[in-house]
Amino acid sequence: MTAEFLTLHSRHSTVVLECPPGEAPLWRYWGPRLPDGSTPGQALRGTRPLPSFMLDFDQPLTVLPTFGVGWFGQSALLAHRAGRDFAQAITQCTVEWTTPGSALVLRLTDAVAQLRFDVSMALDAATDVLTLQTSLTNLGDADIDVQWLAAGTLPLPGDAATVRSYAGQHNHEFLLQTDTLGRNQWRRENRRGRTSHDCFPGAVVTTPGSTEHTGLVFGAHLAWSGNHQQTIEWLHDGQYQWQMGEWLAPGEGRLGPGNSLHTPEIIATCSTEGLNGLAANFHAALRARMAWPGGEMRPRPVHLNTWEAFYFDLVPGDVMALADAAAKVGVERFVLDDGWFHRRHHDRAALGDWWPDADKFPHGLGPLVAHVNALGMEFGLWVEPEMVNPDSELFRTYPDWALQIAGRPLITARNQLVLDISRPEAAEYLFAKIDTLLAAHPIRYLKWDHNRDLTTAALAGGMGSAGYRAQVQAVYALMARLRAAHPAVEIESCSGGGGRIDFGILRYTHRVWGSDCIDAMSRVQIQHGFGQFFPPEILGSHIGTAPAHTTGRSQSLAFRAAVALTGHLGVELDVRHLDETTLTALSVWIVCYKNWRDQLHHGRVWRGEAADGLVWQAHGDAQDLLLFVYRCQPTSHRYTPPLRLPMLDATARYQVEQLVPIAGEGAVQSPAPFFTALQDGGVALDGAWLAQAGLPMPRATAETCFIVRLKKVLP
Ligand code: GLA
């Protein structure tokens, strides 16, 4: 039995679909690159004898498996028209290649249920990233209620072993959760109205024997900043299907005649180079999507953020003095956090009233911005546009702008409510307020916060239907409008730390605040998880105080700096009160960051965990690598095993040099000649040896970092 196949290739992966007439295309393959021209040869149904007591017509996994006419697994669509049309099946498929060989749109029709689906699929040649997106159009003459529409359905091989997803909470983001795949359905859902701390919209699936560096792994991420759902389900032919999409609140998927529902995109990829290969693909994909002012990323400027220095107690003289001190240590962008606007003296009032507090800033923000600029720094400002405190001018004037359900109490979180910014007048108000600030002052950066989950999210002043989806679309639109009006302004996505980190918000933003927890020990774990999907240059990563405000733990300045400077570096402490020695040390770390940021932020990133509790990451390429080895716990080995660096060129020699003394309190426990030589010009070592046998590790105290550069020696 011959068949028609659709093949998409990238450098290292291939997708193959089979197109039987009058159906949705069948999934035949998503995995490592097949040679050009390689096809399954045979139609799938011709190769699978029917099992006993099954339907007489075999129904394999398609790109859009639908419920009711023979597919018994998770459906890509759950929908009905007042109870009818609950079963759907594709009756016609037209293929439109948008880029021959790598991108297409499948136009699928269900002539009975009167539905059209446009499934877009693109496999990016350079990054190996497969994007999927689905649109559903109601061709009938009555409303259809959609409960679930998968953004895409992906196949996973039957030997898929574990799924690594990320849980967490405020101050504890990117907490790895590893589950074994089996015949139970694996499912994660988020209904908090924002990307959330608890349930990252993405996961990684491993196959047996895969490691950080080797083996076949799959990853997918939903580019969406609201509710979401993903499911991995075992199928009777031994493979798995993986669906991902927006979790729709009841009523949100109601489509009138002629109307369409567009899902967010799935960003998926597979790699035979283990978790680090997967990370490299995600990083490259995000880098290609980022919309930087001027079209290109500038070196990421060192921030000082005022939050932990002052909290709400902003006194202009103190803020200016902090700016003076910040400029002296090398800060390049000064960000005025919460507390600057009308009657904002604590977290119980004022959100919504986006003009400077007249007591704190009697002449507005102008003098402070000018002062910061005169010191050679850019000025940045904190806002939380989507929120309103009941105690605010805005709420007193427009109480019905807050998301609410008529007859139900207002549910506050951090004393605040969420504005229904899908209301044009609310969006207009926010645009006007922020636009006024940006037009009046050379503000180059907004820290855009979102500090609560959504509840009672009904539209139309509490009388309407659920508005979770509308809220996300509205914030994207508001950000896009502000960016168009002020193209030089960068935006940071913050949400009580890392509650809104995803490829969706990153279409409009340029940095994310990874966590309110700046404790360097916690940050090692957070940035390790973050790095699976996102490149380091967008991670706000600050040198905080000791003890850390959120954990009470103390670490040396050197360790705090060594952890922070692999991301987009900032300082979040009151530098006015540091002693001379600490100030000098801080300035030296900032100089290190400025010298290294090009390499830290442009190359590949390899991450790993090694024997004796070491966590490491390396930035660059096989020519020149910056390696950070974090020792978070005391050694449990008499001799720490060497660290293998498989990304190095086995045919080359490397000059290995320790760039700074071991960063941390107490640091080296016992010296050895090799480590003295590393600091004294370095040592030339064989790439194959370093890759297979490893780099010797120093003996150091806990909470220290060993930083070396490995540079290929020219033959
Ligand atoms: C959130 C942010 C913090 C800070 C405060 C201000 O918690 O994550 O960094 O901006 O809001 O209220």
DSSP per residue over 380-398, as a string? Answer: EEEE-TTEE-SSSHHHHH-
What's the pLDDT at 663? 74
Taking the C-alpha atoms of residue 115 and residue 263, their distance in angstroms, rounded to an integer, is: 15
For residues 264 and 251, give the distance between their C-alpha atoms in angstroms, rounded to a whole number: 18
Sequence-separated (6 or more) residues with CB below 8 Å from residue 211: 274, 275
The residue contributing the CA closest to ligand 1 atom 1 is 496
What pLDDT digit, counting tens, does each position of 559-577 carry?
Answer: 999 999 999 999 999 999 9
* Domain 5-67+87-289 CATH (choose: 2.70.98.60, 1.10.287.1080, 3.40.50.300, 3.40.50.170): 2.70.98.60
Q: What spatial distance separates the first Cα and last Cα of the chain, rounded to whole Å?
A: 57
- Closest by CA to 499, choosing from 20, 166, 217, 151, is 166
- Ligand 1 centroid, distance to 494 Cα (angstroms): 8
Nearest CA to ligand 1 atom 4: 307
Place of tokens 């136009």: 107
pLDDT score of 463: 80
Q: Give 464's pLDDT tier (boundaries 50, 70, 90).
A: confident
Query: For 522-550, what is each residue's pLDDT tens digit?
Result: 999 999 999 999 999 999 999 999 999 99
Q: Give me ligand 1 centre to Cα 561, in Å.
A: 21
Q: Are 66 and 90 in contact (CB under 8 A)?
A: yes
What distance in angstroms lies between residue 434's CA and the mean position of ligand 1's atoms?
18
449 is known as an active-site residue: yes
pLDDT at 685 over 90: yes
Q: What pLDDT shows up at residue 460? A: 84
**Nearest atom within ligand 1 for CA of residue 495:** 8
Residue 568 tokens read as 């987009």
Residues of CATH 2.70.98.60 domain(s) within the chain?
5-67+87-289
Catalytic member of 145, 337, 353, 516 = 516
Question: 581-608: per-residue pLDDT in tens?
Answer: 999 999 999 999 999 999 999 999 999 9
At position 458, the amino acid (one-letter code) is A
- Measured over the CA atoms of residue 168, residue 174, residue 180 and residue 186, the dihedral's sign is positive
Q: Whose CA is nearest to atom 12 of ligand 1?
A: 338
Instruction: Give the pLDDT confidence score for residue 138 in this predicted structure.
Output: 98
Reply yes or no on whether 141 is catalytic.
no
Q: Which atom of ligand 1 lies nearest, measured to the CA of 497?
A: 8
Mean pLDDT of the chain: 97
Residue nearest to atom 5 of ligand 1 (CA): 338
Q: Which of 194, 338, 545 to mutate to test the pocket of ligand 1 (most atoms within 8 A of CB)?
A: 338
Nearest CA to 153 among 77, 255, 89, 80?
77
The token duo for 638 is: 């008499």
Q: At what angle do helices 580-602 and 316-329 cross, to 10 degrees?
A: 70
Task: Tell how far the Cα of 668 is from the centroid of ligand 1, in angstroms.
Answer: 36
pLDDT for 670 equals 79
Confidence of residue 126 (pLDDT cuts 50, 70, 90): very high
Residue 610 in this model has a pLDDT that exceeds 90: yes
494 Cα nearest atom in ligand 1: 8
Q: Which of 449, 453, 519, 574 is catalytic?
A: 449
Give me the mean pLDDT over the 639-644 stretch: 96
What is the CATH number that goes with domain 300-601? 3.20.20.70
What residue ranges line ligand 1, CB within 6 angstroms?
307, 337-338, 382, 449, 451, 494, 496-497, 513, 516
Render pLDDT for 151-187 as a digit per residue (tens, 0 to 9).
999 999 999 999 999 999 999 999 999 999 999 999 9
Enumerate the CATH 2.60.40.1180 domain ranges in the chain, comma separated: 606-712
Is the pLDDT at 671 greater than 90, yes or no? no
Residues of the chain within CATH 3.20.20.70 domain(s) are 300-601
CA of 380 to the centre of ligand 1 (A): 14
Topology (CATH level 3) of domain 606-712: Immunoglobulin-like (2.60.40)
Distance 340 CA to ligand 1 centre (A): 13
**pLDDT tens, 43-84?**
999 999 999 999 999 999 999 999 999 999 999 999 999 999
